[in-house]
């Protein structure tokens, strides 16, 4: 499992937890909530019931977002919905947000969150997220959807 703090003791992003040791790791980091950004196609590749047993002690929310394999990027409404859910979960304490590879969806929502809540420009937020999470690999069009009309 990949784990990188975006905002120390507030928001971390990474890849899904797979083992009980991953769960213990998140508990040691005092993670209270998990925001899962995977979509239905991602869930076809895993045992979802086994995964749900791993996350059952956390506040768990799944906001399904498309990735590059889906044939389209997340639109503004989908991004806003994910940021809203993230804001709700952060009220409970530190959040671990993940997608499949921590390359597109979780970095994208991190950038949108930093832009909205910390006042960072999209360029500043993107640069910061890339520094914190080396696997970030976004298309410019994905970032442009954050502030699209």
pLDDT means per 10 residues, the chain with 149 residues, are 96 96 98 96 88 96 92 91 98 97 96 95 95 91 73
Q: Which stretches of 36-139 are DSSP H helices? A: 40-43, 48-54, 76-90, 105-117, 122-132
**pLDDT on residue 148:** 62
Check: CB of residue 97 under 8 Å from CB of residue 26: no
Sorted by where each starts, the structural domains of the chain and their CATH numbers stand as 11-147 (3.90.190.10)
The DSSP H or E segment spanning 36 is strand 33-36
């Amino acid at each position: 499992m990949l784990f990188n703090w975006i905002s120390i003791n507030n928001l971390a992003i990474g890849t899904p937890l797979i083992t009980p040791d991953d769960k213990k790791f998140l508990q040691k980091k005092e993670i209270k909530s998990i925001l899962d950004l995977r979509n239905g196609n991602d869930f076809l590749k895993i045992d979802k019931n086994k995964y749900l047993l791993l996350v059952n002690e956390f506040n768990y929310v799944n906001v399904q977002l498309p990735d590059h394999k889906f044939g389209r990027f997340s639109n503004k409404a989908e991004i806003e919905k994910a940021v809203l859910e993230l804001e709700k979960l952060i009220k409970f304490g530190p959040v671990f947000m993940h997608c499949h590879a921590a390359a597109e969806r979780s970095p994208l929502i991190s950038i949108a969150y930093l832009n909205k809540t910390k006042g960072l420009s999209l360029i500043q937020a993107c640069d910061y997220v890339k520094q914190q999470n080396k696997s970030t690999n976004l298309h410019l069009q994905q970032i442009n959807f954050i502030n699209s009309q």
